[in-house]
Structure 1
């Protein structure tokens, strides 16, 4: 089996020739692996290592972004500004520095806001890339979100307060966010003609110990819109991968009911996310992706400890219905030997 066939076998609940292994790498690690393997193309990393990479898809944005030319901050199509923050030597992350909906109070102000149009994306270029990549790999994308986008636009504190104090405002904003992205995804699926295997939905609902919003709030604000997206995505023959970090177990039944096919990342060190328990409760209803602990073991442990952690995930989350990967992107500074320990442990695991 090749990488595509192996991952599809798991998604179809069939038995692959071996358990597939995916890896998520931040750009700094991608560059390290390129040098280590003497390759120039990121995809050649995965080819050379026989990694069953689920490749990410995006859609080029061709709309006009209004920006003060005197500012050096980046701005996205939602009007959210970012600034580069130095994490450690040679490593930068983009942090939100301006929330365009912060301070708005009325529904009329939301109506007047310049929401991004689905017309402003290059579906032809994106579909051509998807069709080429799908010859070899399972494809994933684009990234879409409901509350995560709203938090960036509104600010986390105000966004959470709106679930209780300003629900009408939140509903209105989420309608704009859902309609814009939903139509964008639909047009991409239409143009790609079956070359998109998974659409990436991301809404971090959990902290280390609990949900960020109540299950009732999830049901009111997110579930109906998410289900509408899932139904549309399924109508094109694609599946849904949903990302939520943290202690998210209380909403997993609702994610399944909404139509989520793959759950990422199973952060098992968080409250309620024990691998054995999650597998026993939901393993016959949803595919798991991720699992390998990425706060301590992968970046700071030994290669042997990473191998032990990976083997535990394979035994408790899999081996069937499981796509091993790190819990999130392997971060800058993570030893290449540790990433290799993850990869090789999965590749050598006996089904």
Structure 2
């Protein structure tokens, strides 16, 4: 059992699991300079793309241009290497929900934003917010269609799924849930409960990423079956995460991406140390993750990598 699984299952990992995520735009911006830096940290950056064939390393939604997904959502992107957003919503009117067809594919693919964000992508943010505010009957119809599709996809992937099944859906904004915790519990908690229990019944574990302030519903996500949550440091606040997570649900802490471009290397070290000191328990329940964007200076990238290497050995 590796250290991440030991952390998730509270079995005293030898060290704190640490990882980094590097946006494709970083490789495009810095090129060989970033390759040189990455080679100094093979434990954190084990895969270095071939810059002469970089396209094969860039996911579809990170390419500049537009494309239409299986639901009919139109994705647009102005910047190669950064994430797209949905600009074309296939069901802008409530009556369109009634005739919306569930995509037939069963390829086991559930992209980031598979449930809550899918509703917003299909309807558009303002229309979706009105649906939740007015609690129209079409809202539940749309939720049921998306949930049915997701359950089909989960069923398709489970026979060959790894021990840890990863999901991603951004449930929060900077200051809380856009629909509030009560309506989330009414309309969406049953969806995550159904989907995650499909995984749990096979003896597997559930990892969930979510951007935004979500600390109010982390206990609910645990009830749904989440074994490790990947919340944002800045949006949730370290004190809130300590209160609702420490010793209760394993956390893969997403360090403060909004700090990285502007901090000094010593401030980055303090940031990582403070997070680890606050959430560490010897029995586990903690991993630490850093996402690197193109706006982070290379000396700060090195400082992030150094801090992760340093504090993964923290023992209290």
TM-score in terms of structure 1 length: 0.75
**Equivalence for 2:225:** 259
User: 2:24 is matched with which residue?
Assistant: 27
Contact 2:164 2:207 in 1 (8 A): no
Deviation at 1:145, TM superposition (A): 2.2
Deviation at 1:248, TM superposition (A): 1.8
Moved more, 218-227 or 340-349: 340-349
- Aligned match of 1:159: 128
Question: Which residues of structure 2 form unaligned runs of 5+?
Answer: 47-64
Provide the rounded CA distance (Å) in 2 between the counterparts of 1:282 and 1:93: 29
The Cα of 1:154 is off from its aligned counterpart by: 0.4
The whole-number CA distance in structure 1 between the counterparts of 2:13 and 2:141 is 45
Q: 1:266 to 1:83 in 2, by over 3 A?
A: closer
**Is the 1:227–1:258 contact (alpha carbons within 8 Å) kept by the matching residues of 2?**
yes
Total equivalences in the alignment? 294
Tell me if 1:115 matches 2:102: yes
The answer for the alignment partner of 1:324 in structure 2 is 288
* Cα deviation digits, residues 271-315 of structure 1 (max 9, x gap): xx33234223322221111241111x2122122211111111111
Change (3 A) 1:148 1:179: same
8 Å CA contact retained: 2:27, 2:34: no
Task: Look up the match of 1:315.
Answer: 277
1:30-64 alpha-carbon deviations (Å, 9 max, x no partner): 4568734758xxxxx699521298xxxxxxxxxxx
Work out whether residues 245 and 251 of structure 2, in 8 Å CA contact, stay in contact via their aligned partners in 1: no
Q: 2:89 aligns with which of 87, 92, 99?
A: 99
Alignment partner for residue 83 of structure 1, among 68, 76, 81?
76
The whole-number CA distance in structure 1 between the counterparts of 2:181 and 2:20 is 31
Q: TM-score, normalised by structure 2?
A: 0.82
Identify if the C-alpha distance between structure 1 residues 79 and 181 changes in structure 2 by more than 3 Å, giving closer, same or farther.
same
Give SS of 1:158's match: helix
In structure 2, what is the equivalent of residue 198 of structure 1? 165
Taking structure 1 as reference, are residues 187 and 157 closer, same or farther at Cα in structure 2, changes over 3 Å only? same
User: What's the C-alpha RMSD, in Å, of the aligned pairs?
Assistant: 2.9
Map of 1:188 onto structure 2: 157
1:145 to 111, 114, 117: 114
Look up the match of 1:9: 6
Shift of 1:142: 5.7
CA distance in 2 between counterparts of 1:37 and 1:163 reads 45
